[in-house]
């Protein structure tokens, strides 16, 4: 018996570890995870790493993952929470009106939302960061602060219904905090 449905937000160039870690962790915890993308199709994930001679991360192809549902078809009332994967995908999908509507609905209902790395770009674009504290990869600090949030450089930050982490390196702390929030929310 599932504890409830959780949406996992992806697009092409979502980061592999930002995506599969929460997918499997939430399944282990007893939740049904529906992968959501701009359309119901297969998406190409990527892996990010540091190159010793580069100032930015390098990207290489990773696994593929099929979306179970398109953003436009996801009914927020049927979900107990949402996880927003990182990578480059958020940079592109943050313009999707259906995704922004979905994100706003999750915040309006005070449902637990988790965001890692560039996932914060979606939260920012949805206009729901005002008054919240969040962490993210350092280069997205501007997104947090420009949309009324407070940036904190920490492994994980919990602020109201939002749980954020910087990068996949923070996955254990991120998912520990998110699963606790999700379990507490579902048990009420």
Q: Which residues are tagged catalytic? A: 118
Cα 34 to Cα 48: distance, rounded to the nearest angstrom: 24
Cα 156 to Cα 71: distance, rounded to the nearest angstrom: 27
Cα 126 to Cα 95: distance, rounded to the nearest angstrom: 9
Cα 9 to Cα 37: distance, rounded to the nearest angstrom: 6
Q: Which of 39, 79, 87, 83 is nearest to 61 (CA)?
A: 87
Inter-helix orientation angle 16-28/171-187, to 10°: 40
């Amino acid at each position: 018996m599932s504890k409830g449905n959780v949406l996992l937000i992806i697009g092409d160039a979502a980061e592999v570890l930002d995506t599969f870690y929460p997918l499997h962790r939430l399944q282990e915890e007893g939740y049904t995870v529906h992968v959501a993308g701009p359309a119901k199709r297969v998406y190409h994930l990527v892996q990010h790493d540091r190159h010793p001679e580069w100032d930015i991360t390098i990207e290489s192809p990773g696994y593929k993952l099929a979306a179970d549902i398109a953003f436009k078809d996801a009914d927020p009332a049927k979900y107990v929470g949402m996880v927003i994967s990182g990578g480059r995908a958020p940079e592109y999908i943050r313009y999707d009106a259906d995704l922004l509507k979905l994100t706003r609905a999750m915040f309006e209902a005070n449902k637990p939302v988790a965001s890692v790395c560039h996932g914060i770009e979606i939260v920012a674009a949805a206009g729901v960061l005002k008054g919240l504290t969040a962490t993210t990869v350092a280069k997205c600090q501007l997104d947090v602060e420009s949309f009324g949030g407070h940036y904190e450089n920490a492994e994980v930050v919990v602020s109201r219904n939002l749980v954020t982490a910087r990068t996949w390196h923070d996955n254990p702390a991120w998912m520990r905090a998110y699963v606790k929030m999700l379990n507490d929310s579902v048990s009420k």
